[in-house]
Amino acid sequence: MNIIPENDQLSAVNETFPDIVARFDTQQRHLYVSPSLESFTGRRASEWIGKTNEELGMPKDNCLQWRQFFERVLSEKITLEMDCEYEGPRKRHLLHSVATPEFNSNGEVSGIFCITRDITTLMERKRELDELTTRIAEQRRNMIHLSQMKALAEMSAGINHEINNPLTAIMGQILILTQKLADKTFTPEDIQSRLSVIQQNSERIASVVEGLRMFTNTRPSDKRPLTLELLVQKTLLLCQEKIQKRGIKISVDVASEFSFFGHEASLMQVIYSLLLNSMEAIENLDERWINVHVRELPGEWRLNIVDSGPGIKAELVEKIFHPFFTTKKLASGLGLGLSIAREIMLEHGGNLFYQNCDGNTQFVLVFPK
């Protein structure tokens, strides 16, 4: 067996090693440099031996940065990492270096072993990926906004109904009160009763307006303490007319103690989208109902939205959360989309998934406590 000397072993390994490998003495003179340094700098590897970076005429900023870096390695006797820029013959490079002290047989620091990698391409790819991620996030926000506008357009008839009805009641009570005051035929109890009706209907209108305001609030920083009860109530208020028009029976069992921290508008859109999916899926069935209830589990609340539909085929369950996948007709639109709805839940530390429920359709929203 041929035994390769240690230095020859190092050279043999580094002949094809893409990173730059170098050894230095305690005066920071080059003792060894790998062949990859030649293709990187345009200088032959032999020109570096026995010289410091300053003696090689490297840029002053680089020399100072490397000297301070190596001085720390020598004085602290630890492995350190450093990023720096280097102006090469053709372009500027971003370098990442790892340097570790070498010790002699007496345990004294005798030099430095350093590996340097050119991460320019890596950082360029990272920057491109960051830009792509930013564009995707912007497109996602646009999709949510378009979904909001579509939902608002669909809600308009119901919202008019929810506002016009209490307004009509308020106007009627005001006319009656005006007439009674003119005729002096009123009693304190009568006035109190009619003012109570006006107050109740005014609060009804205020609730609708508040629900609309929260539904269209897209500022992601507006996270605050919420309760599932109010979240569901506000969302149902916005789609009540759709539910009644389709003759759908809806039951809700959500107690007020189910609280968490989140962005109200985003979560209202998720619940609205799931309710809309249910309404559209069961509107032509003989039996039409939706059940909304909460289950408490260790560390989480689960909001279950179950409808009278026959469930989702097993081969489609894995696909329904893919972006742009839909079983709806083109004219129905894509809605918020289950993929985005799940993303919103994941951003809240929760989840959204489909679960079989005795032959019916059930989606489960998971909220952390």
Contact 273, 322 (CB under 8 A): no
CB atoms < 10 A from the CB of 5, how many?
A: 8
| Nearest-10 Cα torsion for 107, 112, 115, 116 | 150
Q: In whole numbers, what is the pLDDT of the chain averaged over residues?
A: 82
Region of residue 257 (left: phi > 0; alpha: psi -120 to 50; beta: else): alpha
pLDDT-based confidence at 23, cuts 50/70/90? very high
pTM above 0.75, yes or no: no
Whether 362 shows a pLDDT value over 50: the answer reads yes
**By C-alpha distance, which of 163, 233, 161, 172 is closest to 197?**
172
Whether 236 shows a pLDDT value over 50: the answer reads yes
CB atoms < 10 A from the CB of 163, how many?
A: 16
Q: Strands 30-33 and 80-87: what pairing?
A: unpaired
The token pair at 196 is 């109570």
Residues in the chain: 369
Which residues 6+ apart lie within 8 Å of 102 measured at CB? 23, 109, 110, 111, 112, 113
- The residue assigned the tokens 């939706």 is 290
Q: What is the pLDDT of residues 257-287, one digit of tens each?
A: 788 888 888 888 889 889 988 998 899 999 9
What are residue 307's phi and psi, to 5 degrees? -130, 170
Q: What is the pLDDT of residues 301-333, one digit of tens each?
A: 899 999 999 888 888 887 888 765 666 543 343
> How far apart, in Å, are the Cα atoms of 260 and each of 161, 206, 329?
32, 24, 36
- Which domains, and CATH codes, for the chain? 6-118 (3.30.450.20), 128-368 (3.30.565.10)
Sheet hosting strand 92-103, strand order edge to edge: 30-33, 20-24, 109-118, 92-103, 80-87
Query: Alpha-carbon distance 54 to 62, whole Å?
Result: 9
Note the pLDDT of residue 285: 92
